[in-house]
Amino acid sequence: MRYQNIGKYFSKGELIPQLQMVIDNARQSHQSSKKVLDLEIDRLASELLSRIGYWVVLVPVENLEMSTRQRLKVGNVMLSVLSRSRMSKIVASVKSDLFRNPHYISNPKSIKEYVRFIRDLIEKDFLKKTCAEAVVYSRDDDAYDEAIPRIEEALAALKLFRGIKGINYDRYFGMPGSLVLPTRRDYMVFQKGSHSPGAGFNWVGAPVGAVLSASVAAFIRTEGLLYYSKILAKANRTEIEERIVTSVLWFAKATDVVLTRRREKFDIWSFVEKRKLQPKPLQAEMMNPYDRLLKLIVSLETLLIFDDNEPIQSNLAERVALLVSTKYESRKGIVKFVKRMYRYRSSVVHHGGKGIPEKDLQQMMFLTRKTIVQVMRNVRRFGFTEVQELLEWFNKKKWD
């Protein structure tokens, strides 16, 4: 367990059966048990250590467009478009590693088949697509689980800061599996007993992707992404930094809730006559606006509520107002608005309430994003590391 820090990456439960095999081999050997034992332990240690190192995890990002020469680093994650030259280097590296592997070196057919599999996989799912690349130090079978949270944090940062530059929140992107891609929903509507049904369809999911141009990337870096990227890259974050990261993740989850829908409405006869029909707006899926609201409230509570016993609604509204405005009348309006939104939240949680106006939800998105960014700026400006310091800032601000 102590040997070259192996115990940090492998548990006793994993090592004991393998060590038992080493002992059994030594007992059954005709040679000196001590000598065999030493050799077997060295062999096992070498095998385990070969599984520990730096691993590159590459994941495609759906619905996010970047230019082919563009690269953006967020925390420890690099975002870029996978080029054909990069694909060739990956394939060549895989091939080289297999030829050095004693299990494959005598089986060139297997090497050829595996290399072809990797090339086909990259061409199908990665080539010329925006990809997130994370480098982690871990054992081989833990690399993916170590990298995915870092990638999720990096994409959440983009979802937060893109609003500063005006990239609308009706543009959805993320790792495969984190968002529903466009799916056509067909339907028919006709009066009971009628033989002339109407038909239509609407797109469900995220039909419109986001474009992250070089100019937008440069702008949001100066507006706070560069500082936040340093927080994400830290091995040990402060208590406030952890709250900020969690708050941003919840905000990103709120933006992932798809709200925009379009319905193409037509009947059979107008379709046959090829008349041009105007698309009409369709309200979002019934519960989606409330799902987004709940995630926004959680984002704010994570950031601004420090004690389970404090009055959440009043303190949340007051602290948002103190952060985003300096004028008394404006702060009064923000306090009133946030309290109303919190009542919406309580109605949804406790009574399944509905009826949140679209403009209120948009305003809540704006206030939440601005609150998170302002907390970051204050932490950077005043060097806060503990929650108590931020709480003291709020208490003093009330008397300014």
Query: What is the token pair recorded at 326?
Result: 């300096």
Residue 33 has pLDDT above 80, yes or no: no
Residue 266 has pLDDT above 70, yes or no: no
pLDDT for 84: 94
Query: What is the token pair recorded at 369?
Result: 């994003």
Q: Which residue has the tokens 């995915």?
A: 148
- Separation CA 29–CA 277 (nearest Å): 84
DSSP 153-221: HHHHHHHHHGGGTT--TT---BSTTSSPPPEEEEEEE--TT-S--EEEEEEES--S-EE--HHHHHHHI
pLDDT for 262: 47
Residue 285 confidence class, pLDDT cut points 50, 70, 90:
low
**Mean pLDDT in residue range 30-34:** 73
Residue 62: alpha-carbon gap to chain centroid: 12
Average pLDDT, the chain: 86
pLDDT for 320: 97
Residue 186 confidence class, pLDDT cut points 50, 70, 90:
confident
**Mean pLDDT in residue range 149-159:** 96
Query: What is the token pair recorded at 296?
Result: 């926004």
**Among candidates 284, 246, 279, 238, which has minimal Cα distance to 389?**
238
pLDDT for 260: 58
Q: Of residues 304 and 282, which shows the higher confidence score?
A: 304
Rounded (to 5) percent helix, strand, coil in the chain: 60, 15, 25
Residue 270 has pLDDT above 80, yes or no: no
Residue 272 has pLDDT above 50, yes or no: no
Residue 277 confidence class, pLDDT cut points 50, 70, 90:
very low
Residue 330: alpha-carbon gap to chain centroid: 33
List phi, psi (to 5°) of 172. -115, 140
Q: Of residues 105 and 256, which shows the higher confidence score?
A: 256
Strand partners, 53: 138
Q: Where are the domains of the chain?
A: 1-50
Least confident of 3-7, 125-129, 239-243: 3-7
Report how far apart, in Å, the C-alpha atoms of 52 and of each of 8, 91, 145, 235, 237 are: 10, 22, 14, 18, 24
